[in-house]
């Protein structure tokens, strides 16, 4: 079994959300609770897998009678593959926002609003990285009345890229009519060999495109939201990432959670904000902050050096590859296979 528990604060309350998965990735338990001033938390819902199907328990007054009946019909069919929060989001599309808001308690609505407002990117299609309203960053199609918003996003992208790359002089969205819709793509004005050229974003370098995809997440966390990004800075120069985050951190009013292999960040990051994943020889993983592993004093210890020396765990250790031996064995295997035919 693999379990996760998240605690988060909304405008209305503080919540704890826990999920447990089987080894094959199937959801077997999901619980959402509200922290209260008493000795016990107030449970909003709990769903557990049993031999006879999901055992569903809703807190008193969390869901109105009609939506409760709808959920109890859908959960046996969809849960285990989709979480209850995912099922609820689809019910918003089916029933409309007004009906759902009137049928769900304030703490539950706060949880839904918080989770749906997260900016996340974990693998997947980079073309799906979007602005806060859901407009894909690199290109797509919009209704004509949405063009003022697209132009505003283009100006934000231009200001951001110009500040990061000295040879970029601007960026904007090009649009064209495709039968009632506006198709669009971002183009970058870049100085190349002494001339200013317009380069479609899909022809830009992987690093520039990755920088662009960072922007919605950074805007999210500086405006009070939460952004989670896996492989935040892959493909971008280590020093650029370090300098950029040092510049941004003072403006963050929410939270930025990222995974990275950039050890330069350890030179300036607060140890309490840095977590390392330690894997035992048996395959068990443990996550700890630098602050829990060893006390550090600014100016007396270099956390990057200490990490690379193995004092914090989480450092990759490889054996001698012996590529010559691997190549010889492969050649022998190929020759033996060829002789069989």
User: pLDDT tens digit string along 201-214?
Assistant: 999 988 898 889 88
Domain with CATH 3.40.50.300 in the chain: 126-261
pLDDT at 72: 92
Q: Are strands 42-50 and 53-58 parallel, antiparallel or unpaired?
A: antiparallel
Residues 171-192 have pLDDT tens digits of 999 999 988 899 999 999 999 9
The two three-digit tokens of residue 191, written as one number:
């100085």
Q: Could you tell me which residue, 284 or 57, shows the higher pLDDT?
A: 57
What distance in Å separates the CA atoms of residue 270 and residue 9, rounded to the nearest whole number?
22
Per-residue pLDDT for 295 more than 60?
no
Residues 84-109 have pLDDT tens digits of 988 998 888 888 889 998 999 988 88
State the DSSP code for 102. H
Across-strand partners of 43? 33
Size of the chain, expressed as the number of residues it contains: 341
Q: What are the CA-CA distances from residue 110 to residues 32, 62, 117, 252 (Å)?
A: 12, 12, 10, 22
**Lowest-pLDDT range, 3-7, 119-123, 247-251?**
119-123
Q: Could you tell me which residue, 326 or 12, shows the higher pLDDT?
A: 326
Half-sphere exposure of 245 (CA within 13 A, CB side): 23
Q: Three-class SS of residue 74?
A: helix
With a threshold of 0.75, does the pTM exceed it?
no
Say which residue the tokens 């109890």 belong to. 72
Say which residue the tokens 């231009």 belong to. 158
Phi, psi of 317, rounded to the nearest 5 degrees:
-125, 120
* CB-based burial, 301-315: b 16+ in 10 Å, e otherwise: eebbebbeeeebebe
Domain 126-261, architecture per CATH:
3-Layer(aba) Sandwich (3.40)
């Amino acid at each position: 079994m693999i379990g996760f528990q998240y605690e988060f604060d909304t405008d209305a309350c503080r919540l704890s959300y826990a999920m447990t998965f089987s080894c094959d990735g199937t959801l077997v338990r999901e619980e959402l609770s509200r922290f209260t001033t008493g000795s016990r938390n107030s449970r909003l819902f709990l769903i557990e897998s049993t031999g006879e199907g999901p055992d569903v328990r809703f807190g008193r007054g969390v869901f109105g009678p009609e939506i409760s009946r709808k959920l109890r019909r859908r959960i046996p069919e969809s849960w285990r593959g989709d979480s209850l929060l995912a099922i609820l989001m689809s019910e918003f599309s089916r029933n409309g926002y007004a009906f759902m808001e009137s049928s769900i308690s304030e703490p539950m609505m706060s949880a839904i609003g918080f989770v749906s407002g997260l900016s996340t990117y974990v693998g997947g299609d980079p073309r799906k990285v979007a602005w806060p309203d859901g407009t894909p960053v690199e290109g797509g199609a919009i209704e004509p009345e949405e063009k003022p918003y697209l132009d505003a996003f283009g100006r934000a992208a231009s200001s951001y890229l110009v500040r990061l790359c000295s040879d970029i002089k601007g960026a904007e969205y090009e649009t064209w009519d495709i039968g009632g819709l506006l198709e669009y793509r971002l183009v970058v004005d870049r100085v190349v060999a002494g001339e200013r050229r317009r380069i479609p974003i899909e022809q830009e370098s992987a690093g520039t495109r990755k920088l662009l995809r960072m922007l919605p997440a950074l805007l999210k966390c500086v405006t009070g939201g939460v952004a989670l990004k896996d492989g935040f800075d892959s493909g971008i120069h280590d020093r650029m990432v370090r300098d950029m985050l040092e510049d941004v951190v003072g403006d963050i009013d929410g939270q930025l959670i990222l995974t990275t292999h950039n050890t330069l960040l350890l030179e300036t990051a607060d140890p309490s904000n840095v977590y390392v994943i330690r894997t035992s020889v048996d395959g068990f993983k443990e996550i700890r902050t630098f602050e829990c592993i060893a006390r550090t004093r600014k100016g007396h210890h270099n956390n990057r050096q200490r990490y690379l020396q193995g004092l914090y765990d989480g450092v990759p250790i490889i054996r001698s590859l012996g590529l010559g031996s691997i190549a010889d064995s492969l050649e022998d295997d190929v020759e033996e296979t060829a002789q069989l035919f």
